[in-house]
Amino acid sequence: MKEIVILGAGYAGLRALHYLQAGHGDYHITLIDRNDYHYEATDLHEVAAGTQPKEKITYPIRDVIKEKVTTFVQATVTKIDREQQQVLLEDGNKLSYDYLIVSLGFRSESFGIPGVEENALEMVDVPTAEKVYQHIIAQMKDYAQTKKAEDLKIIVCGAGFTGVELLGALSDKRADFAQFAGVAKEKIEIFCVEAVTRLLPMFDEKLADYGITSLKNWGVKFLTGKPIKEIKPGVVVYQDDKETGATKELAANTIIWTTGVSGSRVMDASGFSQRRGRVMVAADLTDPEYSNVSILGDVSAVMNKENNRPYPTTAQIALKMGEYAAKNILTKINGGGEMADFTFKSLGTVASIGNTHAFGTVGHSAVKGFPASFLKKAIMDKSLFETGGFKEVFAKGRFDLYH
Ligand code: NAD
């Protein structure tokens, strides 16, 4: 009997599990994750801003386990030994595999900027997202006592997809934050410090402008073309003048770091040939050095042959990768022919800015405002369905008609 081990119960890992559990052949599956729940990584900003409780973006992994074929192990992976075909766990245990799916997800990337780890809040998983929300509320309550202006200020570092969605959710919550502080909504100041001036390059300029202008109209203050050089306690230091390198400081008691991510540290620790935790995979999503190891999602870089650049890491591509890798392994186990290369056609990209607004592209069409927000919720439910099935969509889906 062949042993298939899946590392990580994110979008890619659970999608692969779904297809493997539905397949036939002489194999057993072990799924390993450090948590006993799956979380929708694209919705973390909602927990960080407090627009959704963590229960809404998580579900128990056991809900999707078919015990006849799959064993779930809650443990932290520290290293992969591809030579010995073993996975090493933090608790000292080792697991052997015939086929391995590595889908260990992302971590925050500081780019070596001083003070980031010590003085900024990251938002990479459920505990860190919850910590952001608790921190904001603690500052608001603190203001009610001390009247320190910095308590009312929030800085989001980086206006990428994550930063912009977080800014939208924070804008939705300004009135609630103000209530905790006992001030008018306008007193809550939300800033975004961003290195470049052309924001959100995945969208055309007009569409990106729409998103940013909406946020500005709701009171977000953007400082663009200002690379962050250091984070001191309660202070963001940014380059104000490119020519002279002169810096300026912006003080706030909540500083959130959303300037980009890297793949899991396990990739580096295991000697994979990688850049920022992402391995450039072969055309069938396997490790170029070991064809029994599939590498998916945020730890994987897949070349888009149309523009010779790796595809961006999104939930949509991770789900597709999970399906492909499972089918590839089933084909190998059951002695089928070669799989055609992995290909990906994006259905579109929609960024939410708060609960009732969004913007993006679907096919070649731009979508904006409330209709886009409706579409975004449909996209969220689709991905929830693809890992969790009907049960999770009925329990956690975004449309009231389920509840
Ligand atoms: P990103 O790399 O897309 O954006 C980071 C932003 O931070 C950029 O605008 C960059 O210029 C800025 N930045 C970097 N260093 C800086 C510095 N020192 N000072 C100031 N600004 C700085 O990162 P992300 O938003 O975390 O997204 C990561 C990936 O995940 C992307 O591929 C994104 O498309 C994807 N994502 C997808 C979804 C979704 O599909 N729903 C949601 C979130 C993220």
Selecting among 46, 109, 165, 392, the annotated active-site residue is 165
The DSSP bridge partners found for residue 29 are 4, 70
| 227 alpha carbon – ligand 1 mean position (Å) | 14
Q: Using CA positions, which residue lies closest to atom 26 of ligand 1?
A: 260
- Centre of ligand 1 to C-alpha 195, Å, is 11
User: 305 CA to middle of ligand 1, Å?
Assistant: 23
Burial letters 362-389, b for 16+ CB under 10 A, else e: eeeeebbeeebbbbbbebbbebbebbbe
Q: What is the DSSP letter of 309?
A: E
Question: Which atom of ligand 1 has the smallest separation from the CA of 202?
Answer: 34
For residue 88, what are the β-bridge partners? 79, 94
Instruction: Assess contact for 255 and 120: CB atoms under 8 A.
Output: yes
Instruction: Report residue 80: phi and psi, to 5°.
Output: -115, 130
For residue 219, the CA-to-ligand 1 centroid distance in Å is 21
Enter the pTM of the model: 0.95
Q: List the end-to-end C-alpha distance of the chain, in Å, as a whole number.
A: 43
To test the ligand 1 pocket, which listed residue (42, 45, 162, 203) has its Cβ within 8 A of the most ligand atoms?
Answer: 162
Give the closest residue to 286 by CA, choosing from 323, 313, 325, 318. Answer: 325
- ipTM of the shown complex: 0.95
SS3 for 348? strand
Shortest-distance atom of ligand 1 to CA 200: 9
Give the Å distances, CA to CA, from 397 to 88, 121, 390: 36, 28, 9
Atom of ligand 1 nearest to the CA of 229: 18
139: nearest Cα among 252, 292, 262: 252
Mutational test site, ligand 1, from 194, 200, 249, 382, max ligand atoms within 8 Å of CB: 194
CA of 308 to the centre of ligand 1 (A): 20
Give kind and range of the element (H or E) at residue 392.
helix 369-396
Asked if 285 contacts 324 with a C-beta cutoff of 8 angstroms, the reply is: yes
Tokens coding 39? 């979380």
Assess contact for 254 and 139: CB atoms under 8 A: yes
Strands (DSSP E) found in 170-259: 189-193, 221-223, 228-232, 235-239, 247-251, 254-257
Look up 165 and say whether it is catalytic. Answer: yes
* Complete domains list, the chain, with CATH: 2-34+75-108+262-345 (3.50.50.100), 116-261 (3.50.50.100)
Q: Kindly compute the dihedral angle of the four CA atoms of residues 213, 215, 216, 220, in this order, to the nearest 10 degrees.
A: -160
Residue recorded with tokens 């399906």: 323
Which residue has the least CA distance to atom 23 on ligand 1? Answer: 260
Distance, CA 82 to ligand 1 centroid (Å)? 31
Q: Which residues line ligand 1 (CB under 6 A)?
A: 42, 111, 113, 157-163, 193-196, 227-228, 258-261, 312-315
| Euclidean distance between CA atoms 297 and 104, whole angstroms | 8
d(CA 320, CA 357): 27
| pLDDT values of the chain reduced to their tens digit, one per residue, 403 residues | 999 999 999 999 999 999 999 999 999 999 999 999 999 999 999 999 999 999 999 999 999 999 999 999 999 999 999 999 999 999 999 999 999 999 999 999 999 999 999 999 999 999 999 999 999 999 999 999 999 999 999 999 999 999 999 999 999 999 999 999 999 999 999 999 999 999 999 899 999 999 999 999 999 999 999 999 999 999 999 999 999 999 999 999 999 999 999 999 999 999 999 899 999 999 999 999 999 999 999 999 999 888 888 998 999 999 999 999 999 999 999 987 888 999 998 888 999 999 899 999 988 889 999 888 888 888 888 888 888 888 888 888 887 655 5
